[in-house]
Amino acid sequence: AQTVTQSQPEMSVQEAETVTLSCTYDTSESDYYLFWYKQPPSRQMILVIRQEAYKQQNATENRFSVNFQKAAKSFSLKISDSQLGDAAMYFCAYPDRDDKIIFGKGTRLHILP
C-alpha cells in the first residue's frame, strides 16, 4: 500500500529559529505531486507548498521551502524565521496511483516565544 510517514508527532521551535519537518513516502509512480498542508486550531487546512516530482529544483514559498530527494522518497519542510502564527498541525500528502490524496499522520508544531 502507498503510504506517507511523518516520524515526528510533535516538535517545538523557538520563535525566529528554523525548523525542519520530515516526511517519507512510498510510491512506484515516476511523476507526481507532493504537498505540505497546515491545519491551525481553526481546523481549516491550508496548502503551504507543492512540489512536482519531475522538477529537480526544490519549491520555495517565502519562509517555507522543501528538501525533495526523489530517490530517497523524502520530502521535508523547512520553516525559516518561525513565527507564532506557524503553530499548527502540518501534514505531508501526495496522490496515490488512483489520484486519491494520501495524508501522513501529521506533526504538531509548537512555537516558543
Question: Would you count residue 67 as binding another protein (CB under 8 A)?
Answer: no
Q: Which cell goes with 85? A: 502564527
- Selected from 57, 85, 100, 113, the binder of another protein by CB under 8 A is 100
Q: How far is CA 55 from CA 39, 70, 90, in A?
A: 26, 10, 23
CB 86 within 8 A of CB 29: no
The vertex-91 CA angle with 85 and 92, nearest 5°, equals: 130
Query: Per CB under 8 A, does 98 bind another protein?
Result: yes
For position 91 contacting another protein by CB under 8 A, the verdict is yes
Is-contact 59 49, C-beta < 8 A?
A: yes
Shortest Å distance, C-beta 103 to another protein: 4
Rounded CA-CA distance 36/16 in Å is 21
Minimum distance, C-beta of residue 52 to another protein, in the bound complex (Å):
11
Query: Which residues between 4 and 63 bind another protein (CB under 8 A)?
Result: 32-33, 35, 37, 42-47, 50
- Interface residues with another protein (CB under 8 A) are 32-33, 35, 37, 42-47, 50, 91, 95, 98-106
